[in-house]
A and B are shown apart, each in its own frame.
Chain A
Amino acid sequence: MTASAVPAPTPTSTGEMSRIRGLKTRRNAELGLLVFAMLLVAAFGATVEANQFDEIRPGFWLPAALIGTLFLGLHMVVRFTAPYADPVLLPAVALINGIGVAFLRRLDIARAIAQETPEPGLFADTSGRQLAWTLLSLVLASVLLLVLRDHKIISRYAYTLGLVGIVLMMIPAVLPEDYSEVNGAKIWIKFGAFSIQPGEFAKLALVSFFAYYLVRKREVLSLASHRFLGIDFPRGRDLGPVLTVWLFSLLVLVFEKDLGTALLYFGLFVVTLYVATERSSWLIIGLLLFFGGVYVAYLLGAAIGGPFANFYDRAELWLDPFSQENYTRESGNSYQLVQGLLGLGTGGLFGTGPGAGSPGKVPEVRTDFIFAGLGEEIGLFGLSAILIIYLLIVERGLHAALAVRDSFGKLVAGGLAFTLGLQLFVILGGITGLIPLTGQTTPFLSAGGSSLMANWLLIAMLLRISDAARRPANTPAERAGGPKKAPTQLHGAMTEVIKP
Chain B
Amino acid sequence: MPEFVLTVARFGFLILLWIFVFTVVGVIRRDLFAGGRTKSIVASPRGVGGAVLQGRPAKAKRGKAARQLVVTAGNLAGTRITLGEAMITIGRAEDSTLVITDDFASARHARLVPREGQWFVEDLGSTNGTYLDRGKVSGPTPVPLGVPIRIGRTSLELRP
Please indicate whether A and B come from the same complex rather than being unrelated chains. Answer: yes
B81 contacts the other chain (CB 8 A): no
A9/B40 in contact, CB under 8 A: yes
A489/B13 in contact, CB under 8 A: no
Q: Which segment of A141-149, A296-304, A324-332, A374-382 sits at the interface?
A: A374-382
Contacts of A489 in B (CB 8 A): 127-129
How far apart are the CA atoms of A22 and B38 in the complex, in Å? 12
Q: Which segment of B23-31, B64-72, B83-91, B143-151 sits at the interface?
A: B23-31
A308 contacts the other chain (CB 8 A): no
Residue of B nearest to A349 (CB): B14
Within 8 A of B (CB), among A230-262: none
How far apart are the CA atoms of A46 and B10 in the complex, in Å? 10
How far apart are the CA atoms of A29 and B138 in the complex, in Å? 28
Within 8 A of A (CB), among B88-136: 103, 107, 125, 127-129
How far apart are the CA atoms of A405 and B106 in the complex, in Å? 14
B46/A15 in contact, CB under 8 A: yes
Contacts of A293 in B (CB 8 A): none
A95/B28 in contact, CB under 8 A: no
B50/A50 in contact, CB under 8 A: no
A228: shortest Cβ distance to chain B, in Å? Answer: 18
B20/A354 in contact, CB under 8 A: no
Contacts of B24 in A (CB 8 A): 33, 88, 91-92, 389, 392
When the two chains form the complex, which single residue of A43, A55, A92, A381 contacts B1, counting CB atoms closer than 8 Å? A55
Given contacts A36-B20, A37-B20, A88-B27, contact A18 B43 (CB under 8 A): yes
A216: shortest Cβ distance to chain B, in Å? Answer: 12
B43/A392 in contact, CB under 8 A: no
When the two chains form the complex, which single residue of B6, B17, B103, B127 contacts A356, counting CB atoms closer than 8 Å? B6
Contacts of A20 in B (CB 8 A): 35, 41-42, 139-140
A425 contacts the other chain (CB 8 A): no
When the two chains form the complex, which single residue of A18, A381, A392 contacts B41, counting CB atoms closer than 8 Å? A18
Question: How many residues on chain A are close to B (CB under 8 Å)?
Answer: 69
A16 contacts the other chain (CB 8 A): yes
Given contacts A33-B23, A36-B20, A389-B24, contact A495 B43 (CB under 8 A): no
Given contacts A12-B50, A489-B128, contact A353 B6 (CB under 8 A): yes
A166: shortest Cβ distance to chain B, in Å? Answer: 30
How far apart are the CA atoms of A88 and B20 in the complex, in Å? 11
Taken residue by residue from 75 to 96, chain A's Cβ proximity to chain B (1 for < 8 Å, 0 otherwise) reads as 0000000000011100110010
Contacts of B20 in A (CB 8 A): 33, 36-37, 40, 95, 385, 389
How far apart are the CA atoms of A88 and B26 in the complex, in Å? 10
A385/B14 in contact, CB under 8 A: yes
A18/B139 in contact, CB under 8 A: yes
B12 contacts the other chain (CB 8 A): yes
Contacts of B16 in A (CB 8 A): 39-40, 43
How far apart are the CA atoms of A254 and B26 in the complex, in Å? 46
A98: shortest Cβ distance to chain B, in Å? Answer: 11
B48 contacts the other chain (CB 8 A): yes
How far apart are the CA atoms of A47 and B44 in the complex, in Å? 57
B140/A29 in contact, CB under 8 A: no
A23 contacts the other chain (CB 8 A): yes
Contacts of B47 in A (CB 8 A): 14
A13 contacts the other chain (CB 8 A): yes
Contacts of B103 in A (CB 8 A): 497
A52: shortest Cβ distance to chain B, in Å? Answer: 10
When the two chains form the complex, which single residue of B7, B10, B40 contacts A354, counting CB atoms closer than 8 Å? B10
B25/A23 in contact, CB under 8 A: no
B63 contacts the other chain (CB 8 A): no
A355: shortest Cβ distance to chain B, in Å? Answer: 9
How far apart are the CA atoms of A22 and B32 in the complex, in Å? 10
Within 8 A of B (CB), among A70-127: 86-88, 91-92, 95
A159 contacts the other chain (CB 8 A): no
Given contacts A16-B138, A33-B23, A489-B129, contact A385 B38 (CB under 8 A): no
B18/A15 in contact, CB under 8 A: no
How far apart are the CA atoms of A86 and B40 in the complex, in Å? 23
Taken residue by residue from 1 to 43, chain A's Cβ proximity to chain B (1 for < 8 Å, 0 otherwise) reads as 0000000011111111111111110100100010011011001
A24/B50 in contact, CB under 8 A: no
Contacts of A55 in B (CB 8 A): 1
Q: By CB atoms of chain B within 10 A, which of A18, A20, A489 has the most? A: A20
How far apart are the CA atoms of A83 and B26 in the complex, in Å? 20
A22-B35, A87-B27 known; 12 other A-B pairs, CB under 8 Å?
A: A19-B140, A23-B41, A26-B27, A33-B20, A47-B13, A88-B24, A88-B27, A378-B14, A378-B17, A385-B20, A386-B17, A489-B127
6 contacts between A and B (CB under 8 A): A18-B139, A20-B41, A43-B16, A88-B31, A378-B13, A392-B21
